[in-house]
């Protein structure tokens, strides 16, 4: 649990850093706003699945204009993930969760693998955002785990 908790702390930190970088852009690229919103919604979808709740109300790929609303979503996600993980026992990491994809396909995945998906999915997209920032002549932000670990 200690490793997953630490990695989730990195996720919250990295989400905040990437949002800060997007806020510093004078005119943030609409595709980047859509992508960062996707990360926030995907975190929420996976948490809903872990909590055995439906996810049909979530749309993973919508245009976004309001970075403040996205930041609020990330903050709420962090709060809910912290509470979920605080109540999780090590033995529960291997419990299987039944859920349906957003297109309705049924799946069965362990809690551990779902949490790892959340962690890796966000890191993948933060890398895409940083690359786009660099292409747009904006400064990318350091979101590597080791940077977080050195704090």
Which residue is listed with tokens 């908790």? 5
- What whole-number distance in Å separates Cα of residue 129 and Cα of residue 29? 10
Q: What is the pLDDT of residues 91-128, one digit of tens each?
A: 999 999 999 999 999 999 999 999 999 999 999 999 99
Q: Is the pLDDT of residue 26 over 80?
A: no
Structural domains for the chain: 2-149 (1.20.120.450)
Q: What is the pLDDT of residues 47-56, one digit of tens each?
A: 999 999 999 8
Q: Which residues pair with 99 in a beta bridge?
A: 107
85 within 8 A of 3, measured Cβ to Cβ:
no
Residue 128 class from Cβ within 10 Å (0-12 exposed, 13-18 middle, 19+ buried)? middle
Give residues with Cβ within 8 angstroms of 29, minimum separation 6.
Answer: 132, 136
136 pLDDT band, cuts 50/70/90, is confident
| pLDDT score recorded for residue 27 | 66
pTM of the model: 0.93
- What whole-number distance in Å separates Cα of residue 88 and Cα of residue 138? 40
């Amino acid at each position: 649990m200690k490793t997953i908790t630490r990695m989730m702390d990195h996720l919250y930190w990295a989400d905040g850093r990437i949002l800060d970088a997007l806020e510093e852009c004078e005119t943030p690229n609409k595709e980047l706003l859509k992508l960062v919103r996707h990360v926030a919604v995907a975190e929420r979808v996976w948490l809903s699945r872990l909590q055995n709740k439906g996810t049909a109300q979530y749309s993973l790929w919508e245009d976004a204009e309001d970075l403040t609303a996205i930041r609020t979503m990330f903050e709420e996600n962090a709060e809910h993930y912290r509470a979920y993980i605080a109540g999780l026992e090590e033995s529960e990491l291997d419990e299987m969760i039944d859920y349906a994809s957003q297109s309705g396909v049924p799946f069965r995945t362990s809690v551990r693998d779902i949490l790892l998906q959340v962690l890796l999915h966000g890191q993948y997209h933060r890398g895409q955002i940083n690359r786009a920032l660099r292409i747009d002549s904006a400064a990318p932000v350091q979101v590597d785990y080791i940077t977080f670990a050195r704090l």
